[in-house]
Amino acid sequence: MPVSEHIRKKLAKVPHKPGVYLHKDRFGTVIYVGKARDLKKRVSQYFQPSRRMGWDLKFNALVEAIHDFDIHVVKSEPESLLLEGKLIKEFHPRYNVSFRDDKRFLLLKVNLNDSIPRFTLTRLRTDDGARYFGPFPSSGSLRRTLNLVRHRFNLRGCRPLNPTEADYKHCLYAHMKVCTAPCINNVTHEQYLMQVNAACDFLDGQCGEMVKDLETHMKKAAEELNFEKAAELRDLISDLKRTTKKTGKFKRLPYKLPVAIDPAAELESLAEELGMETPPERIEGFDISNISGTFKVASVVRFKNGRPDRNNYRRLKIKTVEGQDDFACMQEAVMRRYSRLLKEAKKKVESADGKDDVDKAIPQELQQLVDEISAAVKKGIVRASQYIEHGNFPDLIVIDGGKGQLKMAYNELKKLGLESIPVIGLAKEYEEIHRPAERHPLRLGLDHPAVKLLQRVRDESHRVANSYNAQLRLKRISESLLDEFPGIGKQRKAALLKKFGSVQRLRRATLEEIQQVTGFGGLAGSELKKFLEARSETVTREKEAETE
């Protein structure tokens, strides 16, 4: 497959530095994350036709799916490993296998507020007042360095939080003189704390003196032809340097969803194709999700400057539609969304009343508009467009669907007086763009920048709607299990859910906690606990089936 001109230009700008690269498909979805000591050499290998014969089927499929890539330069190779693992856990690329579990890199933890502080390994950083070092890309190097630190600063390696004299009798660390045994007061708390602080300084990178000392012993062992000892010291120096080397802190990338390398160009292309004077800064997408007319929900997602703006996402339960009617659901979703924005615009105008740049006649007229929103479907309201500048309205609305859904959405905007806001529908089969005033749809092709942007808006609204629908269905399935418990009524069921929040938490509750709920003291609480334990396996199977 020939390399596109866009990728050739990007390859020319890739530096010979360590870092991480992200390959993306034509929708902008991250499909592979990799690290490299030399980004230029590594990324270029994916686009060399001479290597194609040696690629396996999986690698061929990956290369054929690459339509774009992104890079992130770091300071060192260990940093690239840390960032690679972080990004794989964040994006879950389909072509990555390593790091896809929930296991994190190791951290070294010490709480200086403990009576006898100790160094422990953990994978989760919490706000508990402790001091953390890491994360460390090599767990083996960390463990060997920690063993060295314990011997060098005579620190304890026992497990008890507050060791006593009974623990001292069986402690090899103390009998081997590795630990100063603070548990039997051989040293004061202040003295032991000084040892711990010295170890912390060592782990912070103040280890030059020890490295020089180890290098001297390594050279001496080599001169004495004791090569095994020299090799051990060499590996220990390498572990020490690797563990105490500073690594950068990586901020969360500004995107997790499919993104574009140049969203500004896509916005300009979209504005040109739709005949808009300026690129749409704020785009809102609508989608409906329902299964056989149950759990009807709608999603509203917003993209700002071509990027997802999660603070303005909204999820709606459809309230007035009976049966399976996507057109009516879209009608209600649009009406409720922009009725609310009109109310917010009213409050904003009223709060600005009295300023020179606000027309004092606006609040009264807008109040009348808001009061009549409930009757807008029947009566219709004209000229609300003059208030758009005072509200958080989008510059473009994207409806997931064809002419039918678009017509319903446009009619609601017109009734609210917001027909000046551009609205389009995106039909999935051929990615056709439908417009209210145009008879024929606009077909730009799958590779067109404007279509890619609209696809991301549509796909994100689809994802949010489906996830909300699945969430409601799982909650209903879980709660319905309580209905099978003999003798339970609405009040007792409501009391349980009010106390624990969900059936999942109820299943984890102890018998004593269940018996604290009114109506479940004594035998009733015991029977409910047995019932939930018996149904535990059934609930798990039903959840797995729902999420597949």
Q: Please write the tens of the pLDDT for every residue from 402-436.
A: 899 999 999 999 888 888 899 999 987 788 999 99
Measured between alpha carbons, how far is 311 from 309 in angstroms, rounded to an integer? 6
**Separation in Å, CA 536 to CA 501, 504, 539:** 17, 9, 5
Amino acid in position 129: G
CATH number of 263-470: 3.30.420.340
Question: For residue 208, what pLDDT is reported?
Answer: 61
The separation between CA 473 and the C-alpha centre of its own chain, rounded to angstroms, equals 23
Taking 80 as the threshold, does the pLDDT of residue 512 lie above it? Answer: yes
Give the 3-state secondary structure of residue 482.
Answer: helix
pTM exceeds 0.85: no
Question: For residue 185, what pLDDT is reported?
Answer: 65
Taking 70 as the threshold, does the pLDDT of residue 336 lie above it? Answer: yes
As a whole number of Å, the end-to-end CA separation of the chain is 35
Q: Please write the tens of the pLDDT for every residue from 280-328.
A: 999 999 999 887 666 789 999 999 999 888 889 999 999 888 888 889 9
| Residue 352 pLDDT class (50, 70, 90 cuts) | low
* Average pLDDT along the chain: 76
Q: Please write the tens of the pLDDT for every residue from 224-266.
A: 787 777 787 677 676 566 655 555 544 444 444 445 557 888 9
337 neighbors 417 (Cβ within 8 angstroms) = no
Identify which of 64, 71, 69 has the alpha carbon closest to the alpha carbon of residue 24: 69
Measured between alpha carbons, how far is 405 from 411 in angstroms, rounded to an integer? 10
Q: Please write the tens of the pLDDT for every residue from 434-453.
A: 999 888 999 998 778 899 89
The separation between CA 498 and the C-alpha centre of its own chain, rounded to angstroms, equals 29
Q: How many CA atoms lie within 13 A of 164 on its CB side?
A: 1
* Interaxial angle between packed helices 362-371 and 326-351, expressed in degrees from 0 to 180 and rounded to the nearest 10: 150
Measured between alpha carbons, how far is 245 from 224 in angstroms, rounded to an integer? 31
Comparing 193 with 237, the larger pLDDT belongs to 193
**Separation in Å, CA 221 to CA 144, 209, 211, 212:** 20, 19, 15, 14
The runs of H, that is alpha helices, within 384-500 are 403-415, 449-483, 490-500
507 neighbors 496 (Cβ within 8 angstroms) = no
DSSP states along 495-508: HHHHHHSSHHHHHH
79 neighbors 18 (Cβ within 8 angstroms) = yes
| Residue 544 pLDDT class (50, 70, 90 cuts) | very low
State whether CATH 3.40.1440.10 applies to domain 5-91: yes
Per-domain residue ranges for the chain?
5-91, 106-244, 263-470, 484-547
Measured between alpha carbons, how far is 220 from 214 in angstroms, rounded to an integer? 10
- Chain position carrying tokens 């067109």: 448
CATH homologous superfamily for the domain 484-547? 5' to 3' exonuclease, C-terminal subdomain (1.10.150.20)
